């Protein structure tokens, strides 16, 4: 296996046609890596990369895509609890992750990066609206699960740990927050403005898709051993209100380990920085004042 920290890495990307997956493919190609995508039959594939048609839940399709592959970036999933029936959301996501990672490991791959989610804590989608035990939020927040999507992401993280343990592999589960691109930015701003309380579970976090792509690249090529879960997010919240105002209004009883001036995100991404050297590059300054009575 090549030295992933110095040699061009041949990467299989699943879910490479999605919002984040497209950015991951573009970022890896721009960095000089050889990319293969496992692409569903009805998806529009990328130009300029090797493409294998198939489903991530199909071991035979995964095996075909693994030819001359050094690492796997797995993003294929149903992206939320409302996109399909509960049994399909959980079953699809959990089986796809297990099939891709286990099959790849059997074929000699020893480096994995998977798209987990801040929803692995369960806090954002839980109908009981639990709050984190403290701010800043980080990877140690206890899970409080009550929906199939969050459950699938928690299971995905355990799948990564299991495969790495069984095969002596290494990998990272990136807990991605709200993913923002130039195309969806304004729509998401409008959506978030009407639901500020919804962001309390993960500290009103967000991340530019280009930063997510860089986090995947660093996790593929980094020097580390074993399986890790890391939280990635921008340094500021995706809300026009000052952070202290958000905390006073929507999480007044949650302890804070420090103050959060301006729009500082009450999120600790130190593990991503220490393990991968990841520092977000793209910021999103507040767009303007919001009615103080809203929410």
- pLDDT tens digit string along 128-137? 999 999 999 9
> Which two three-digit tokens encode residue 73?
């970036």
3-state SS, one letter per residue, for 39-90: ECCCCCCCCCCEEEECCCCCHHHHHHHCCCCCEEEECCCCCCCCCCCHHHHH
**Res. 109: pLDDT tops 80:** yes
Share of the chain above pLDDT 90, in %: 83
**Res. 208: pLDDT tops 80:** yes
- pLDDT tens digit string along 120-169? 999 999 999 999 999 999 999 999 999 999 999 999 999 999 999 999 99
Residue-by-residue DSSP string for 226-273:
SEEEEE---SB-SSSS-HHHHHHHH-TTS-BSS---TTB-SB--HHHH
Confidence of residue 191 (pLDDT cuts 50, 70, 90): confident
Question: Which pTM was predicted?
Answer: 0.93
What phi, psi does 192 have (nearest 5°)? -70, -35
Q: What is the pLDDT of residue 51?
A: 96
Domain ranges of the chain: 10-276
Average pLDDT over all residues of the chain: 93
Look-up of token digits 């721009």: 30
Q: What is the pLDDT of residue 5?
A: 64
Look-up of token digits 């806090």: 123
Q: What is the pLDDT of residue 123?
A: 96
β-bridge mates for residue 236, sequence order: 264
Q: What is the pLDDT of residue 115?
A: 98
- pLDDT tens digit string along 228-249? 999 999 999 999 899 999 999 9
Q: Are 192 and 237 in contact (CB under 8 A)?
A: no
**Res. 41: pLDDT tops 50:** yes
Q: What is the pLDDT of residue 195?
A: 85
Q: Looking at domain 10-276, does it have CATH number 3.20.20.70? A: no
Distance, CA of 116 to CA of 250 (rounded, Å): 26
**Res. 290: pLDDT tops 80:** no
> Which two three-digit tokens encode residue 87?
């049994």
């Amino acid at each position: 296996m090549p030295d992933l920290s110095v040699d061009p890495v041949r990467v299989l990307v699943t879910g490479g046609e999605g919002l984040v997956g497209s950015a991951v493919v573009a970022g890896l190609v721009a960095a000089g890596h050889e990319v293969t995508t496992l692409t569903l039959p009805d998806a529009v594939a990328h130009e300029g990369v090797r493409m294998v048609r198939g489903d991530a839940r199909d071991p035979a399709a995964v095996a075909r895509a693994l030819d001359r592959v050094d690492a796997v970036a797995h993003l294929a999933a149903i992206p939320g609890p409302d996109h399909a029936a509960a049994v399909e959301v959980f079953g699809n996501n959990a089986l796809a992750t297990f099939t891709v990672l286990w099959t790849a490991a059997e074929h000699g791959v020893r480096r994995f990066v998977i798209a987990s989610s801040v929803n692995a804590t369960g806090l954002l989608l839980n109908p009981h609206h639990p709050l984190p035990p403290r701010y800043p939020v980080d990877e140690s927040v206890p899970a409080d699960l009550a929906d199939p999507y969050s459950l699938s992401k928690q299971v995905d993280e355990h799948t990564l740990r299991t495969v790495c343990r069984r095969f002596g592999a290494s990998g990272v589960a990136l807990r991605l927050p709200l993913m923002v691109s130039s195309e969806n930015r304004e729509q998401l701003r409008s959506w978030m403005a009407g639901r500020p309380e919804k962001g309390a579970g993960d500290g009103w976090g967000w991340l530019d898709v280009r930063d997510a792509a860089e986090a995947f690249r660093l996790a593929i090529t980094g020097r580390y051993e074993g399986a890790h879960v890391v939280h990635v997010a921008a340094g500021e919240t995706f809300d026009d209100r000052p952070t202290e105002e958000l905390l006073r209004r929507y999480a007044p009883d949650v302890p804070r380990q420090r103050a959060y001036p301006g729009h500082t995100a009450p999120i600790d991404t130190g593990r991503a920085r220490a393990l991968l050297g990841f520092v977000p590059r793209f910021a999103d300054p507040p767009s303007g004042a919001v009615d103080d009575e809203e929410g």
